[in-house]
């Protein structure tokens, strides 16, 4: 991919019509930074390399979550971010409607500064769940409104990990872990954690290998659990039999009243 220096006006996030294959630029990085309210706070953006990172439709299909990632520009475009100091990288999550008319920075670099993970939508399509080091004492599961309001912890004592996703019942949270996190098992396997948000009680519903044997983090495997539209099944990744695989788990027994 090309090297971006400063806020690009012709790169950012693209929408593709899957029936025709036609693609159009939905929002440029320059447009997002100019319109975002609250703003995305980037120090000296003209000297930063700024890229689109993640993008997600909410379950209702009427809003988008867009992530930006940036770091100080370097002279060599072949420079590999993943082989250098991650402390220089900054992130932000921005939300918008499908018209792209208004943007809001839901979580900016000031919240990410001490650590965080990727975000996802709540089932209501109005809030975001993720991990942040909100109290500067380790990751916690947090939620925040799409416009950046009301950032708060979901649980006080339970350590965060991985990519938390809240079930439609509003009571249960499912998440994974990176293999280097303390919640992992230390042998290349990680848990899928099933957490009751009312009591804080949790159990391991699956233990999956993610160790590819390759130390380049570009090639890592994250389980990254995701619900289907019925809110009964979960898809997640693993590294089994020498290759990356996608698994499906039927969660019905955990969701039925006991």
Where are the domains positioned within the chain? 1-154, 162-258
Per-residue pLDDT band for 115 (boundaries 50, 70, 90) equals: confident
Q: Which helix (H) or strand (E) is 64 found in, with range?
A: strand 63-72
Residue 250 has pLDDT above 70, yes or no: yes
Please report the pLDDT score of residue 146 as a whole number: 97
Helix ranges, the chain (H): 29-35, 109-112, 252-255
Per-residue pLDDT, averaged over 189-210, amounts to 96
Residue 256 has pLDDT above 60, yes or no: yes
Per-residue pLDDT, averaged over 157-177, amounts to 96
* Residue-averaged pLDDT of the chain: 92
Cα torsion 78, 75, 67, 163 to 10°: value is 50
pTM above the 0.85 mark?
yes
Per-residue pLDDT, averaged over 228-234, amounts to 96
Per-residue pLDDT band for 116 (boundaries 50, 70, 90) equals: confident
Residue 125 has pLDDT above 80, yes or no: yes
User: Which residue has tokens 């997600």?
Assistant: 56
Please report the pLDDT score of residue 92 as a whole number: 96
Token pair of 240, please?
């089994």
CB 10 within 8 A of CB 25: yes
Per-residue pLDDT band for 86 (boundaries 50, 70, 90) equals: low
User: CB-based contacts of 184: which residues, under 8 Å, 6+ apart?
Assistant: 161, 177, 178, 190, 191
In the beta sheet, which residues pair with residue 175?
193
Per-residue pLDDT band for 112 (boundaries 50, 70, 90) equals: confident
Token pair of 143, please?
């939620």
Residue 85 has pLDDT above 70, yes or no: no
């Amino acid at each position: 991919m090309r090297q971006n220096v400063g806020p690009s006006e012709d790169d950012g996030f693209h929408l593709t019509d899957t029936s025709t294959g036609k693609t159009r630029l939905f929002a440029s990085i320059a447009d997002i930074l100019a319109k975002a309210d609250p703003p995305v706070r980037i120090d000296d953006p003209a000297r930063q390399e700024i890229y689109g990172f993640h993008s997600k439709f909410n379950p209702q299909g009427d809003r988008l979550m867009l992530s930006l990632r940036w770091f100080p520009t370097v002279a060599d475009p072949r420079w590999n971010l993943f082989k250098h100091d991650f402390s220089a990288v900054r992130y932000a999550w921005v939300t918008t409607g499908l018209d792209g008319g208004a943007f809001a920075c839901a979580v900016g670099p000031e919240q990410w500064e001490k650590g965080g993970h990727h975000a996802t939508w709540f089932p209501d399509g109005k809030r975001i769940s993720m991990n942040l080091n909100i109290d500067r004492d380790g990751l916690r599961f947090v939620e925040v409104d799409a416009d950046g309001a009301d950032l708060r912890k979901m649980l006080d004592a339970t350590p965060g990990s991985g990519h938390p996703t809240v079930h439609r019942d509003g009571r249960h949270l499912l998440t994974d872990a990176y293999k280097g996190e303390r919640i992992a098992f230390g042998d290349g396997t990680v848990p899928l954690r099933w957490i009751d948000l009312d009591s804080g009680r949790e159990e391991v519903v699956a233990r999956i290998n993610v160790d590819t044997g390759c130390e380049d983090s570009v090639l890592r495997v994250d389980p990254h659990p995701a619900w289907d539209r019925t809110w009964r099944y979960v898809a997640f990744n693993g590294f089994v039999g020498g290759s990356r695989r996608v698994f499906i788990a039927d969660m019905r027994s955990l969701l039925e009243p006991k």
